Structure 1
Amino acid sequence: MKKIATVLLGVSVLFGCSSHQDFGSHNPTEQSISKIEQIEWQQVDIPANFSFHISSNTQYLTNQDFSSPVAGFAFEVTEPEITIEVSGIVKQLKVFAPNLALYDQNFNLIRNYNASYFDYDDTDFIRGDVLFGDIVLNLPIQTTKIYGLIYTTKQDLADTTELLHPAKAMAIAKRTVPPQIDNPIAQHVEQGEIRIALKRDSGLSSFIQSSKSASAPEIPVIATKTAVVALPETENYYHSSIKAAVAADDIPKALALLEEAKSIGIKDAQKVFVNAVNNR
């Protein structure tokens, strides 16, 4: 599971649980809006678990920064460390690719996360077919409220997500050779279900970047992912070892090498494994 730091990055320990709230589709007071202040924000408490069903009835925000159906949630900041988990649910090979913009109590933009932070993990059989990402917030003391804006972009709508075929997932789970069949493709669309969880955190943190006003002509400061760069010799070792294990019909060893390679940032390890299985 990846961790994305927004104002501060920390090691998290989660506490508490909450019942699930379903913010179903309804007719808003204003459906076509041009300002984020016009969004019908759903007030929640921490911890919280809730869903948005984005449909033709959802508010549509259009201005120089956005052109998208939008859903908004808000919560009072009663503690400095919070985790926000976002899941775009794949249904009938369609998914709303989420982006998340976070604003403070004065609607100043703290951080914006594009759809690349909420991606599909074909090794996570527990979550299944979702676009998932979690964000660790450690907020300055002057922040008293957070507004979270869920939206998508025209670029996201032109994209797709390749899913792992269920038969392949079953084979991998049973540690057998996956069948040579095409993976299904999920289309990115303007309607779908987004699930969000807010959790309490505690841990060590370090400052990264300051916020920027939401009134700027473009959405500011896209946070960057932290990458682990492996030496070429290390990459070659893991790539070769994975191929050799698959060739020897030792799938458990190949999967173990794959997980180890991912944990230390070996590039294209998953691709090497899949290609080795398909070419076997």
Structure 2
Amino acid sequence: MKKTLLATALLALFSLSVSANQSVHINPQTLSAVQWQDIEFSKNVKTELSANQNQTFTRSFAGTESPVVAYRITANQGALTIDIYSQIIDGNVFIPNAVVLDANFNVAASYPSSMFKFQEERGMLPNRFTAELNLTPVSGQDYIYLLIYTTQQDLGKTTTVPHPAKIYAKAMGNQPPAINDIEVKHSRSGEIVVNVSNEQGTRFIGLDDILPTKSSKKMTAVGATVDGSAAHSKAINTPVDKDTEAYFNQAVTKALKAKDINKALNLVNEAEKLGLKSPRQIFLKNVNSN
């Protein structure tokens, strides 16, 4: 019981700096009643959305009743990459916002619509808004959860996309014609495609800090530490249990075996923020032995 409480206390909430001022707060009890759909790895899963599927519980954080995509994802098979895209259909598009929840339905990461970037039609892919989520579930969690929705703010906007004739001309290497682009309405209707794969992640789900991404964007921790105080990026004085220390030791060793020095260093730095010393000792021992 003590171990479970400590693990739960370490499940702090995080968001990227771009969304730090837009933190999403959702009652975990509300989320436990959501119908979560299991999702298989490495398969494109499509979900059609419409206003007939509006959910009342989204009003408190989305400002409106929104249809939702709700997936339960296996979290005991290592790092995850989640690709999400919302395609433009018949002059309308569902603008996604996403949150990732830990095993106890606490918000672990928040991805506002500003993180979903527009990509032009190319090959078999349509005009779409897309984002890639890189996650690393901490051991001890069987599942994490992905919730996608839209907001009242997003519904009040439109997006201008290139006219198909311009896209075709560019693809053929010709001068695009001088015709007006198309204004697309943001809607409660649309189609969301999600693909989850076992790949290298950079954001820990279930710890009180996260690794820096390759883009060097500052990460902002939001939530409570073991003693209930606000989470922060400085060293934490709270004792860390042996399972957490073992997790970092194994992760550093694995990264070094894969010759991923940058990842190993990042893990060492994050471990030291928690007051752990053994990961650096493992790092130095392995590097000096080569």
Pick the TM interval, shorter chain. Answer: 0.5 to 0.7
Aligned residue in 1 for 2:42: 47
Amino acid in the other structure paired with 1:176: N
Q: Select 1:194's aligned residue among 179, 184, 192.
A: 192
Per-residue deviation at 1:56?
Answer: 3.6
1:70 to partner: Cα distance: 1.6
The corresponding residue for 1:267 is: none
2:83 pairs, out of 82, 85, 110, with 85
CA distance in 2, matches of 1:154, 1:144: 33
Kept in 1: contact 2:161–2:183 (CA 8 A): yes
Question: Could you say which residue in structure 2 is the equivalent of 1:140?
Answer: 138
User: Is the Cα contact below 8 Å between 2:46 and 2:192 reproduced in 1?
Assistant: yes
- Go from structure 1 to structure 2 and tell me whether the alpha carbon gap of 1:171 and 1:62 turns closer, same or farther (over 3 Å shift): closer
Q: Could you list the per-position Cα deviations for residues 176-196 of structure 1 after superposition, in whole angstroms to 9, with x for gaps in the alignment?
A: 211111111110001111111
Quick one: structure 1 residues 186 and 201, their matched pair in 2 at CA, closer, same or farther if it must change by over 3 Å?
Answer: same
1:182 aligns with: 180
Normalized against structure 1, the TM-score is what? 0.59
TM-score computed with the length of structure 2 as normaliser: 0.57
C-alpha separation in 1, matches of 2:202 and 2:68: 33
1:120 and 2:93 are equivalent in the alignment: no
1:158 is matched with which residue? 156
Residues 63 and 147 of structure 1, relative CA distance in 2, 3 Å threshold:
same
Task: Tell me the CA shift for residue 47 of structure 1.
Answer: 2.9
**Structure with greater helix percent:** 2
2:61 — aligned with what? 65
Q: Which amino acid aligns with 2:186?
A: H
Q: Following the alignment from structure 1 to structure 2, what is the Cα–Cα distance between the partners of residues 202 and 133? A: 16
Letter in 2 for 1:76: T
Conserved 8 A contact 1:81-1:138: yes
User: Residue 207 of structure 1: which of 211, 216, 225 is its match?
Assistant: 211
- 3-state SS of 1:156 partner: helix
RMSD: 2.8
- Return 5+ residue gaps in structure 2 as ranges: 1-13, 17-28, 204-209, 213-218, 225-290
C-alpha distance after superposition, 1:71-123 (max 9, x if no partner):
20101212221111111121111011011111011001111101112121237
Is the 1:7–1:139 contact (alpha carbons within 8 Å) kept by the matching residues of 2?
A: no
Identity level (%): 27
Work out whether residues 104 and 144 of structure 1, in 8 Å CA contact, stay in contact via their aligned partners in 2.
Answer: no
> Secondary structure in 1 aligned to 2:185?
strand
The alpha-carbon distance between structure 1 residues 90 and 96, as it changes in their structure 2 partners (threshold 3 A), is same
For residues 185 and 175 of structure 1, do their structure 2 counterparts lie closer, same or farther at Cα, with a shift above 3 Å needed?
same
Give the match for residue 167 of structure 1: 165
Contact 1:58–1:71 (Cα < 8 Å) also in 2: no
Q: Structure 2: which amino acid aligns with 1:104? A: D
Q: CA deviation at 1:59?
A: 4.7
- Note the 1:189-268 alignment, pairs <5 A: 189-202=187-200, 207-208=211-212, 209=219, 210=221, 212=223
